Chain A
């Protein structure tokens, strides 16, 4: 067989053949080795070449990846915790996600030749501001955990810059995603910030705290009224941060209306594939008075030399942060492509379309709860959007249910002990609800017949939407 190792290499490298000889001449060397010898000091040259496979052709690598792909078993994962299945509209997949015209540009430092993505990012910011009920949002951060850590740093700066005392405690609701708590701890430790994880309803929130983070809805799906806690936080002179889910906010009161100071979260379920954890765009919104201390890139509207509207990056507050002794952020990049996709998902569906999706998910969730209750399963969240917390008889039964769900093609979340989490999403259908119910009816209760839920679903949906 023909030796093809250089087939792709020749495509990847620009100069070829006789061109290279001409380039040598222009530089004044006779060979590439001579140039490298003159460039890289001999003392640090690698003497031994590492052993790696030789290059494969494009076709071979795609074949190999297809085989590797088969080793992934993709079930319907109703695991929640900040990551949900969603439908990437085909027009977005083809024209943005898979389009080099959108994925090969650099950060828009030269705005005159970046107006397309600046407008798309402005769409994203506008969407985030609308859903969260806050006036300003940035053009995305790396992930939800990082956004929470940035919010903590920002809160620390706001509180401790304006007062003589130093408050060094940050409260984190135990109902925040576990990975978010972890990332917040990582950031807090080098600065002797004491992170207090607990229950917002019972914490003694005094002025030794500079801020608080709560999840809405909580990691177990529960939706609580945030107003009393945020009042408590403000009363202590601290900053209230709410981690949330944009889709839930299509139905719930936005945190901005509860007077939250900073609202963060993951925009993944707005049409961005799960991708085993990312990349996804985290969002970050705040009040007008804090815009100058908000981390990350902000796209702003300005004018060009002919006084036409033009977009540009504005208020790069990172500079101000870095200059301070207590530098709080090293944010240098964003998740532009994914923020653009999420923004376009909102454009594609429109506000009514998003509300419809949220209503459908919530109706299915409510239906599932009712039917499970009918069969004697306890659901522990009084209010919820898309996530139920089911109590099994004991751990053994919970494990049995998870196993049966797995056999039916679903991953449910084992929370702990005898508790199971189920988070529905945009891809969930009535058939999924029927199948899930029949997982539980293998334990107890009457099985459900296909189509039996159609009418009650319609009633729920009409009542919500």
Chain B
């Protein structure tokens, strides 16, 4: 059994192997100490519906964590119930909707969403019974404030909310965010902030300072819960005082506000066991440490950006040429010049021992990179070396030194089976295929299978949220 488990583990690239620079995912260090208490019997063995007085330890964790999250967001109250970021969005919007209902404004269902938003935003809005109206972004990736003002005014009788990610999904701190929030408030709406990028805010700014009324927090991003290979996650929400009465309740244990909406999760505090991770993280960093983490996350992103910008175009940056905690490389030119798709570059990174950054989100033909505060300079440099080496391979294709079809990018990733095959008949060497930089000879992670056929049997519709354009007003 142990060997079977290990054999599977060996096929997966995890943070034990290398950095996973996925934009908007915040794959930071999740220290062993933070996870240690999870399996202690006092925490692991507790049924969710025991009389509350038996769970005084959990109660303390829950209260302190709620307080800490409220302080970090500068908001008034929290619900730990939502079990994912998307669930947090749904909950936050339901809270807004219920607030409007309770204030005799049930017609307020219009939710403005910028075109740069993550696809879950409109999906959650529709689930919460909202009508989605898309707001345009300008060439720099910022919300088009004129369009926003026009739409907020046009729908001022029915405006429920704006859903906004900050810093934007393009990795930029928009200068006009306060004005944006004001416009919404003046037209009777509330501001929902998607907290996916909270790792760029903690300690330096906050949803409350910016003017948001509700914010979800991906504890599995900003507050160190590991991603578990695709869950668990947690998406608690923080709200202003006026929204606190509507925080979700539970039929068995008393939680939430006095006018609570129905439960959004089966358990009163969602996945309570993993709250211990965020609790330990916050306790060990303290407020100073949390702020330092934000600073270093921004430092790491700007370092990578500065080292890569001569090789790849940066899609968006702030007015001083800085990026937030993540940034986007535009790969479009290589499609035109070398017939290389961004997906080929992502697969080629595997040969260099890396997990690709986020591919084609929020913009097609791009890579979005988020290094987090936890990666040391040596790992960032290793990634930079890989990206520069790939850039050289791209140039070789453009210059005709590498074949346009039979090249290391198109054939990536290379497995041991292909590399060791007696009949190697590619138009580049095995060494170039599997050891393109010398450091790989000392330590290399081998992909266990080659490029997976996406069209085979055409049963393979990929998991990306649909483009926001789908929601544009007809």
Contact = CB atoms under 8 A, between A and B. Distances in A.
B210 A44 contact: yes
Contacts of B60: 68, 71
A185 B98 CA distance: 14
Range of interface residues on chain A? 35 or more
A135 B373 CA distance: 45
B286 A54 contact: yes
A196 B44 CA distance: 36
Contacts of A334: 230-231
Interface stretch (B143-151, B292-300, B434-442): B292-300
B307 interface: yes
A329 B413 CA distance: 34
Interface in B48-95: 48-51, 54-61, 68, 71-72, 74, 83-87, 89-90, 94
Nearest to B295: A32
A259 B178 CA distance: 56
6 contacts: A27-B303, A91-B2, A99-B9, A103-B226, A117-B12, A183-B263
Interface string B242-265: 000000101110000000011111
Given A277-B266, A322-B119, A61 B33 contact: yes
A66 B280 CA distance: 12
Given A53-B287, A69-B57, A310-B449, 7 more contacts: A19-B377, A46-B205, A46-B206, A102-B228, A112-B347, A145-B263, A303-B456
Contact of A52 (B41, B71, B74, B127): B71
A220 interface: no
A404 interface: no
Question: Nearest 4 pairs between A and B by C-beta?
Answer: A277-B267, A190-B129, A275-B273, A55-B286
Contacts of A280: 271
Given A36-B204, A277-B267, A302 B457 contact: yes
B469 to A, nearest CB: 11
B389 to A, nearest CB: 18
A14 B445 contact: no
A327 B123 CA distance: 6
A35 B457 CA distance: 51
Contacts of B22: 106
B274 A279 contact: yes
B1 A330 contact: no
A274 B47 CA distance: 6
A450 interface: no
Given A112-B447, A340-B229, A344-B5, A55 B288 contact: yes
A107 interface: yes
Interface residues of B, number: 178
Contacts of B41: 74
Interface string B114-139: 00000110111011111000000000
B289 to A, nearest CB: 4
Contacts of A348: 1
A96 interface: yes
A8 B286 CA distance: 10
B203 A46 contact: yes
A98 B232 contact: no
A13 B204 contact: no
B97 A61 contact: no
A144 B267 CA distance: 10
Q: Which among B210, B227, B230, B299 has the highest number of chain A CB atoms within 10 Å?
A: B230
Given A112-B451, A274-B48, A314-B459, A69 B40 contact: yes
Interface string B14-58: 111000101001011111110111111111111111110011111
B462 A332 contact: no
Contacts of B100: none
Interface stretch (B183-191, B319-327, B395-403): B319-327
A338 interface: yes
B458 to A, nearest CB: 10
Interface in A112-128: 112-117, 119-121
B204 A330 contact: no
B273 A276 contact: yes
A312 to B, nearest CB: 5
A246 to B, nearest CB: 16
A276 B229 contact: no
